[in-house]
């Protein structure tokens, strides 16, 4: 299913001169729920929360749509229990959903929480999901990228393109991810929520799958 655009063209002839009036109408479809928070308030997270979505469409096949988002958001100190994904192979008619694997403890990974999900689809159809995993008991934060080679149905183990344990920095605000290239910001402050001015430096890196 693709977005249907209806175009009406009217050509009234007035005094021998043709005047064209073009109107474009988008046929809206009813919103549908494509995923639900599976964690039920685990570890003190807000129950039934899925926030901060990002969506990508395959440039070679617009029927392939992939979304990523937070699941089980923590309202006080930020992040979520585990980032989720939802994928459609038929332009949004049907969806499969799950959690990005190997990232947070809730999804068999090492980190306490994760935030700032972003997604992109390369020219070869590979899907890249980028997230910010971090710990709340120590100062570790990272930038992780997970690749899907089946158009977003499953994702490989995360690759940490940046991994810091210093309490003087905190990786944040993932900006974008593309084929073998990730971009994010590095706030120069002790930790999330710490006092003081926030100075952000844009960082990027290349990575291999």
122-181: pLDDT as tens digits: 999 999 999 999 999 899 999 999 999 999 999 999 999 989 898 877 776 554 555 445
Instruction: Give me the residue spans of the domains in the chain.
Output: 35-206
The DSSP letter of residue 76 is T
Tokens 């605000």 label which residue?
173
For the chain, how far is it from start to end, CA to CA, in angstroms?
Answer: 31
Closest listed residue to residue 83, CA positions, set 138, 155, 141, 139: 155
Q: What CATH number labels 35-206?
A: 2.120.10.10
Across 83-111, b (16+ Cβ under 10 Å) vs e yields bbbbbbbeeeeebebbbbbbbbebbebeb
pLDDT of residue 77: 84
Entry pTM: 0.74
Given a cut of 60, whether residue 209 has pLDDT beyond it is: no
Contact 85, 156 (CB under 8 A): no
* Residue 93: its H or E element: none
Contact 92, 31 (CB under 8 A): no
Band the pLDDT of 31: cuts 50, 70, 90: confident
Closest listed residue to residue 207, CA positions, set 173, 166, 178, 172: 178
């Amino acid at each position: 299913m693709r977005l249907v655009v209806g175009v009406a063209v009217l050509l009234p002839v007035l005094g021998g001169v043709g005047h064209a009036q073009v109107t474009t109408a988008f046929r809206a479809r009813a919103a549908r729920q494509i995923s639900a928070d599976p964690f039920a308030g685990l570890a003190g997270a807000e129950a039934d929360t899925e926030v901060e979505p990002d969506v990508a469409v395959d440039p070679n096949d617009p029927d392939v749509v992939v979304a990523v988002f937070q699941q089980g958001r923590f309202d006080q100190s930020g992040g979520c229990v585990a980032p989720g994904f939802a994928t459609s192979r038929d332009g949004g008619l049907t969806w499969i959903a799950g959690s990005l694997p190997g990232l947070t403890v809730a999804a068999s990974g090492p980190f306490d929480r994760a935030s700032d999900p972003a997604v992109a689809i390369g020219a070869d159809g590979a899907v890249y999901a980028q997230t910010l995993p971090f710990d709340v008991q120590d100062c570790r934060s990272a930038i992780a990228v997970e690749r899907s080679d089946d158009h977003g149905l499953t994702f490989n183990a995360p690759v940490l393109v940046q991994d810091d344990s210093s309490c003087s920095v905190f990786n944040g605000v993932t900006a974008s991810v593309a084929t073998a290239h990730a971009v994010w910001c590095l706030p120069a402050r002790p930790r999330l929520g710490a006092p003081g001015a926030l100075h952000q430096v844009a960082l990027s890196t290349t990575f291999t799958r």
